[in-house]
């Protein structure tokens, strides 16, 4: 199915409009066997999840699930008994009260103040499905700022757009800015070449790849689209290193976030069942002869000094739980 109204492509075949089938079932009207489909789903080249069924060689989805993934409006006109599709607007979830409670899987200690379960459920849903989130209450500017702070830690590709309605409800929509597509395409062969490596070695190679494209300069902050636009080096500060490393981790499907203090920015990655720190910008003194002995991954306690005093540890823990539910319980 190719959507042209908003430029989103969904790799799928067929749409099942009506009641959802559960497990393997016989479709009563035709006697055709329906089984759960295990085929991968890509939205704009990125993995997404939705319940699908294989019927007579084709994959079938509920229309509302497709609308959520590809971000278009779908409603039911009860008076006319008509399904209405509107590609000029985004998807609006319905029946939020019955939606999955993703927060039940997370470390309950992260929910405090403006770091609410409602915010968590909305963003986690968007991360899991790759589509717009359910709506959630947004009552004041403090909560709005928290939303911006949380989404900023996910970088720029995807970025999470926050939209709000007149009634105070808000939702998130993941976007993959076209400006980054060329950089992603240039890096893809390198990412593909990491297949088969252990995660620790992949992260070493990702860090070295960033260092090959940057040289430290405190006054320059190029984005990944610039850093990876060509093979030459670009001047960049710690923010440029951290954002570029995050960009590569996203391409390699490795959970990674941005972490910062008042004077420095670095990354944390989930590897080997735990979160560890990576400070690419602070260690770009490596050369080809040193790299065999370089340690890229560090325990958080190993990064000492004022540069590594996090501005908002609660924010960091909340974001970690969004990417890997339950992952902070073992690292209190």
Q: Give 318's DSSP letter.
A: H
User: Are residues 199 and 271 in contact, defined by beta-carbon separation less than 8 angstroms?
Assistant: yes
Predicted confidence at residue 198, as pLDDT, reads 94
Structural domains in the chain plus CATH codes: 1-70 (no CATH), 98-175 (3.30.1370), 178-298 (3.10.620.30)
Predicted confidence at residue 8, as pLDDT, reads 32
Predicted confidence at residue 39, as pLDDT, reads 74
Task: Determine the Cα–Cα distance for residues 30 and 162; give it in Å rounded to an integer.
Answer: 44
Task: Determine the Cα–Cα distance for residues 271 and 233; give it in Å rounded to an integer.
Answer: 28
- The counts of H helices and E strands in the chain are 8, 16
Task: Determine the Cα–Cα distance for residues 232 and 282; give it in Å rounded to an integer.
Answer: 20
Predicted confidence at residue 293, as pLDDT, reads 66
CB atoms within 10 A of CB 226: 17
Predicted confidence at residue 152, as pLDDT, reads 92
Q: Where are the alpha helices (DSSP H) in 130-215?
A: 141-152, 181-192, 199-213
Predicted confidence at residue 259, as pLDDT, reads 95
> pLDDT 10s per residue in the chain (332 long)?
222 232 233 333 333 333 333 344 444 445 667 777 777 777 655 566 677 877 877 888 878 778 777 767 777 766 666 788 877 656 665 544 357 889 999 999 999 999 999 999 999 999 988 889 989 988 889 999 999 999 999 888 999 999 887 778 899 999 999 999 999 999 999 999 999 999 999 999 999 999 999 999 999 999 999 999 988 899 999 999 999 999 999 999 999 999 999 999 999 999 999 999 999 987 775 555 666 667 788 998 888 898 999 999 999 999 999 999 999 986 54
User: Are residues 153 and 319 in contact, defined by beta-carbon separation less than 8 angstroms?
Assistant: yes
């Amino acid at each position: 199915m190719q959507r042209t109204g908003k430029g989103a492509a969904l790799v799928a075949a067929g749409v099942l409009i009506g009641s959802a089938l559960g497990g393997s079932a016989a479709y009563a009207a035709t006697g055709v066997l329906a089984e759960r489909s295990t085929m991968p789903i890509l939205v704009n080249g990125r993995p997404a999840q939705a319940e699908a069924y294989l019927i007579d060689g084709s994959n079938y989805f509920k229309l509302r699930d497709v609308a959520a993934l590809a971000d278009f409006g779908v409603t039911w006109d009860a008076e006319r008994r008509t399904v209405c599709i509107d590609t000029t607007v985004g998807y609006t979830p319905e029946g939020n009260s019955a939606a999955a409670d993703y927060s039940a899987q997370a470390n309950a200690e992260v929910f405090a103040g403006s770091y609410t379960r409602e915010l968590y459920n909305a963003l986690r849903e968007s991360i899991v499905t790759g589509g717009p989130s359910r709506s959630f209450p947004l009552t004041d500017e403090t909560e709005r700022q928290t939303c911006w702070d949380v989404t900023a830690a996910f970088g720029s590709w995807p970025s999470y757009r926050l939209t709000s309605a007149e009634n105070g409800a808000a939702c998130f929509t993941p976007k993959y800015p076209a400006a980054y597509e060329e950089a992603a395409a240039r890096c893809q062969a390198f990412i593909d070449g990491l297949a088969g490596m252990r995660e620790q070695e992949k992260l070493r190679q990702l860090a070295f790849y960033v260092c090959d494209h940057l040289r430290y300069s405190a006054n320059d902050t190029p984005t990944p689209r610039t850093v990876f636009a060509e093979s030459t080096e670009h001047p960049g500060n710690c923010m440029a290193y951290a954002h570029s490393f995050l960009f590569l981790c996203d391409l390699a499907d490795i959970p990674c976030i941005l972490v910062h203090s008042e004077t420095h920015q670095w990354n944390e990655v989930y590897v080997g069942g735990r979160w560890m720190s990576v400070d690419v910008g602070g260690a770009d003194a490596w050369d080809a002869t040193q790299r065999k002995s370089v340690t890229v991954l560090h325990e958080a306690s190993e990064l000492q000094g004022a540069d590594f005093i996090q501005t908002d540890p609660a924010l960091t823990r909340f974001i970690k739980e969004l990417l890997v539910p339950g992952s902070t319980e073992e690292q209190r």
